[in-house]
Amino acid sequence: MAQAGTILVTGGSRGIGAATAALLAAAGHRVVIVDIAPRPIDGGAMLWPERFDVADEPGVARAVAAIEDTHGPIDGLVNAAGVFGKMHKVERIRMESWDREVDIDLRGTFIVAQAVGVRMAARGRGAIVNVASVAGMTSGPIHAYTAAKAGVIQLTLSLAGEWGRRGVRVNAVSPGFTRTAALQAAIDAGLLDEDRLSRNAAMGRLVEPAEVAQAIAWLLGPASSAVTGINLPVDSGFLAGLAWDAYGGLTRQPTGAPTP
């Protein structure tokens, strides 16, 4: 990878953040994970033991300064911290729930990107990857989450323009339905149906956290040195297959229906 310094992973104690931190550490990089409920993960990633709330602007600024004092310059940032709210009809959405999701998923992404990215730009090097979602590119009954993730995609583009000539690349990944521990627990409990989650994906399956991690690692590294401002779906072809349901689904061939 291009970064010789530290790679910081928010939300690094679980899910996609943990998978990414483990992959990067296994490849020999100095990785520091932060989380609102910090706990170590298997592998060589270092845990920042203090609570890290991405929505706490002064707290983030203090923590980023302390991490750089302890572990050296942050040359790579993975913004993986996020929350997923409950599915509700619009009339049942409570604004405190809306505000929490937007605070963490969008505002928190900006706060951390700002705190780290300004330092990167001053040094003239760095790469940031924001974890967005295909939910930010589609429609669904998760109104605050879709709005926040759409905002993350647009924020990525704006920050790429802001810092591109100062040596900082900013990109996003948009995972589809990903088999995190939380998702698997919901499937095992019968709260979610794996077949329903995967039936519109062109590849007919869920995404594994390690697959998202591989995409993030590529966007951090020298193989993507001319890439900035993109949003890369990692979704098992969910976006490619979504509209096929209107024609009978991916398991059936079109029968001469008119093309829209």
Residues serving a catalytic function are 145
Distance CA 174, CA 16 (A): 11
Give residue 244's Cα distance to chain centre: 26
Q: Roughly how many angstroms between the first and final C-alpha of the chain, as a whole number?
A: 44
CA atoms within a 13 Å half-sphere pointing along the CA-CB vector of 254: 9
Number of H helices, E strands in the chain: 9, 7
Listed as own residue / partner, the contacts of 39-45 with beta carbons closer than 8 Å and 24 or more positions apart are: 39/13, 39/14, 40/13, 41/12, 41/13, 45/9, 45/12, 45/21
Sheet containing 74-79: which strands, arranged edge to edge? 46-47, 31-34, 6-10, 74-79, 126-131, 168-175, 231-234
Q: Long-range CB contacts (< 8 A, 24+ apart) of 135-138?
A: 136/174, 137/174, 137/231, 137/233, 137/239, 138/239, 138/242
DSSP symbol at 206: P
Task: Find tokens 């919901």 and name the residue.
Answer: 186
The answer to whether the CB of 102 falls within 8 A of the CB of 83 is: no
Burial (CB count within 10 angstroms: exposed 0-12, middle 13-18, buried 19+), residue 215: buried
Classify 195 as helix, strand or coil.
helix
